[in-house]
Structure 1
Amino acid sequence: MSVLDLVRADLRDFTGYRSARSDRLDGSVWLNANESPWANPADADGTLRRYPEPQPQRLRAALAELYGVEPAQLLAGRGSDEGIDLLLRALCRPGSDAVVVTTPTFGMYAVCARLHGAEVVDVPLLEGEGGYACDFAAVGDAAERRAAKIVFLCSPGNPGGNLLPLDAIAALAQRLRDRCVVVVDEAYLEFAAAPSATGLLREFANVAVLRTLSKAHALAAARIGSVIADADLLAVLQRCQAPYPLPQPCVEAALAALAPAALARTRARIDETIRERSRLQAGLDALPAIRRVAPSTANFVQVRCHDPQAAFQALLGQGIVVRDLRAMPGLSDALRISIGTPEQNQRVLATIAALSVPAGAAA
């Protein structure tokens, strides 16, 4: 069975929209895309009057090299969000199919699923003193019971920071082979110093991996993400994608960020973030106002507070904005704190250290 058998039947022969840049043609006078023959006065080098490549070859090659895959295995798009959206479009029939998520997790899986009319089946993560863990057997059971088309796994998890074992992901992909695509969102993997699930692609055509330049590479505003998967599946996703998904200035910024000197600086900052994460975790864990700090392999920590409202307001009062997680199921006392500079992290510690603790809370 091919992974294409998992694609919506009504989209298997869907050709999508062929733009003026879909065919690679050579010429010196370009009159095939209804573009302006003159540059905008704000366009200094005159490049912005032309539509960009649908899949910029240089960027695709650079991203493939970064992630250790072949260019044919990678589709570039507008952040991981577009990758999630495309997978749902291609695989899930509105009003019929389902996806499995493991809460607490990145909210866009459920949001995109509901916008596409797909049912969301939740298999909550298990939380213990050692942090969060995925119940892979329960995930497989839920996917089989509902005949789900996609399982979304976040590794490292957001907001928990937990890293999922690759052997367990591989076993799940094997169990669901020919029935379901296992999507592994690795937005924070650079901070985990762990191998990628892309290594499973050789064996499992039903594995797809999401990567992004938004986090470790500090290009959140450029919106450069990748879906790494079976080339046949990516061809379907591209037919579901907008004709020109990547603005040229964003492509140029990404290429500059992937040059050797910029990559070296990024890797040094990743190392510093990991060191600061350890320092912040240890510092928070020692404070009376904090109940528990979840072990994290990402660029943030999730903390449980004795008085989360007081902690949130105290930080805000010092101009420090953190993520309030209290509206999420099971996280009524939780905040998520991104790892900042050493000075910023010290301000977080000093602010929380100054909090008064409710009587009996420390016990």
Structure 2
Amino acid sequence: MSGLLSLVRPDLRDFAGYKSARSEALRGDVWLNANESAWANPADGEGRSRRYPDPQPPALRARLAELYGVAPAALLVGRGSDEAIDLLVRALCVPGQDAVVVTPPVFGMYAVCARLQGAALVEVPLVDDAAGFSADLEAIQDAALTRRAKLVFLCSPSNPAGAAIPLDEIASLARALEGKALVVVDEAYGEFADGPSATTLLPMQSNIAVLRTLSKAHALAAARIGVVIGDEELIAVLQRCQAPYPVPTPCADLALAGLSDAALAQTRDRVALVRSERSRLAEALVRAPGVRRVYASQGNYVLARFDDAERAFRALLAIGVVVRDQRAAPQLGDALRITVGSPAQNDRVIAALDAREQAA
């Protein structure tokens, strides 16, 4: 057994999963093996939705693999990053025995999935200093080893803090945890970051997995297309644990069209605009009265602290601008997270915050 497979729950290492009607490589022109309707729904003009979809649509999987620079067998397509997180926790963590390490303040689904699986949650808070929020990799390593964690989730760029983790630090952590834990790098906002993806570490370190999504930079949040990228043995295990038909045909078709060369070119232009607007918004927030601190960000959002966060939140809401209230999150009792919008939308945010002080 490989060192990586030893991290999988013992009862799932040989688990075959559910064999759906679409998992068999059969050929024919009359399909009567899945109890599907012989007729299309009246609303389904092309009749494509009456058939169950391929569990892993080949064209989409190949295009995503090309996009992320990996082999198709090293990538599993699912219902957003959320499903990938859930699959990883369920496949690796024995309920009541194994632990998951997270770095608050951070995306909440890691903790949710751990709780649903009965896995212990080990929190190693981000360190907030003059340079901004950063992950304490040494403390993360110690916590993972001490608590015998199976999974370590690193959000890079971090949501909501905005900082990315250097790849050499991720690689060092993975080496220290080899045979003991899987290091999962969540790159939901990777397109907006400066450095290369952690997928470049996979050839050297098999106990790293990377999460990517089409929800953010690719503007396909409603399609719910995300992937987990990793060692092919791990991907095979996760696929056996996945629901039979995770990717609806309309969503797969939309995603494939959204990854055409023309669409990708427009996405790259929009990412460049967001990065430029991110800098403009951050600079304007630094100058705005009542803003205590603005954190450098490599995502499509800016985290800021306010003298009166409630007042700022309400001032924005009064003009129809909804931002994320972070005050319930650890270390963020005075903070709001503002997504970088279009130039006109960002102008409204800046004007509203300035007007809030003038009205006072």
- Please, what TM-score do these two structures have when normalized by structure 2? 0.98
- AA aligned to 1:244 is Y
- AA aligned to 2:298 is T
Task: Please say if 1:180 is aligned against 2:162.
Answer: no
Task: Please say if 1:332 is aligned against 2:333.
Answer: yes
How many residue pairs align between the two structures? Answer: 359
Q: CA deviation at 1:135?
A: 0.7
Q: CA deviation at 1:358?
A: 12
Looking at structure 2, the residues matched to 228 and 112 of structure 1 have their Cα atoms a distance apart, in angstroms, of 19
Q: CA deviation at 1:194?
A: 1.6
Secondary structure at 2:356's aligned position in 1? coil
- AA aligned to 2:38 is P
Q: CA deviation at 1:174?
A: 0.2
The answer (yes or no) to whether the contact 1:289–1:357 under 8 Å persists in 2 is: no
Looking at structure 1, the residues matched to 209 and 270 of structure 2 have their Cα atoms a distance apart, in angstroms, of 28
Q: CA deviation at 1:26?
A: 1.1
Show the counterpart of 2:149.
148
Show the counterpart of 2:66.
65
- AA aligned to 1:98 is A
State the identity %.
63
Q: CA deviation at 1:356?
A: 2.8
Secondary structure at 1:356's aligned position in 2? helix
Show the counterpart of 1:238.
239
Show the counterpart of 1:288.
289
Secondary structure at 1:354's aligned position in 2? helix
Secondary structure at 1:355's aligned position in 2? helix
Looking at structure 2, the residues matched to 354 and 328 of structure 1 have their Cα atoms a distance apart, in angstroms, of 27
The answer (yes or no) to whether the contact 1:110–1:120 under 8 Å persists in 2 is: yes
The answer (yes or no) to whether the contact 1:288–1:357 under 8 Å persists in 2 is: no
Farther-moved stretch of structure 1 (130-139 vs 208-217): 130-139
Secondary structure at 1:96's aligned position in 2? coil
Looking at structure 2, the residues matched to 128 and 142 of structure 1 have their Cα atoms a distance apart, in angstroms, of 21
Correspondences of 1:78-157 after superposition (within 5 Å): 78-157=79-158
Secondary structure at 1:55's aligned position in 2? coil
Secondary structure at 2:312's aligned position in 1? helix
- AA aligned to 1:265 is Q
Secondary structure at 2:149's aligned position in 1? coil
Secondary structure at 1:120's aligned position in 2? strand
Looking at structure 1, the residues matched to 159 and 359 of structure 2 have their Cα atoms a distance apart, in angstroms, of 29
Task: Please say if 1:203 is aligned against 2:204.
Answer: yes
The answer (yes or no) to whether the contact 1:300–1:337 under 8 Å persists in 2 is: yes
Looking at structure 2, the residues matched to 233 and 341 of structure 1 have their Cα atoms a distance apart, in angstroms, of 39
Q: Which runs of 4+ in 1 moved over 3 A?
A: none
Looking at structure 1, the residues matched to 350 and 230 of structure 2 have their Cα atoms a distance apart, in angstroms, of 41
Show the counterpart of 2:193.
192
Show the counterpart of 2:270.
269
Q: Deviations over 1:114-136 (max 9, x none)?
A: 01000000000111222111110
Looking at structure 2, the residues matched to 233 and 204 of structure 1 have their Cα atoms a distance apart, in angstroms, of 13
- AA aligned to 2:262 is A
Show the counterpart of 2:160.
159
Show the counterpart of 1:308.
309
Secondary structure at 1:77's aligned position in 2? strand
Q: Structure 1: which 5+ runs fail to align? A: none
Looking at structure 2, the residues matched to 125 and 141 of structure 1 have their Cα atoms a distance apart, in angstroms, of 15
- AA aligned to 1:12 is R
* Cα 1:357/1:293, change in 2 over 3 Å: farther
- AA aligned to 1:340 is G
- AA aligned to 2:326 is L
- AA aligned to 1:286 is R
Task: Please say if 1:10 is aligned against 2:40.
Answer: no
Looking at structure 1, the residues matched to 62 and 185 of structure 2 have their Cα atoms a distance apart, in angstroms, of 21
- AA aligned to 1:306 is D
- AA aligned to 1:233 is L
Q: CA deviation at 1:357?
A: 8.7
Secondary structure at 1:164's aligned position in 2? coil
Q: Deviations over 1:319-363 (max 9, x none)?
A: 00000000111111000000000000000001111223999xxxx
Q: Deviations over 1:68-123 (max 9, x none)?
A: 11101100000000000000010000111101001111000001100100000000
Looking at structure 1, the residues matched to 16 and 359 of structure 2 have their Cα atoms a distance apart, in angstroms, of 62
Q: Deviations over 1:169-191 (max 9, x none)?
A: 00000000010000000000100
Looking at structure 2, the residues matched to 226 and 118 of structure 1 have their Cα atoms a distance apart, in angstroms, of 23
- AA aligned to 1:77 is G
Cα RMSD for the two superposed structures = 1.2
Show the counterpart of 1:278.
279
Q: CA deviation at 1:2?
A: 2.4
Looking at structure 1, the residues matched to 359 and 308 of structure 2 have their Cα atoms a distance apart, in angstroms, of 8
Secondary structure at 2:26's aligned position in 1? coil
Farther-moved stretch of structure 1 (21-30 vs 148-157): 21-30
The answer (yes or no) to whether the contact 1:149–1:180 under 8 Å persists in 2 is: yes
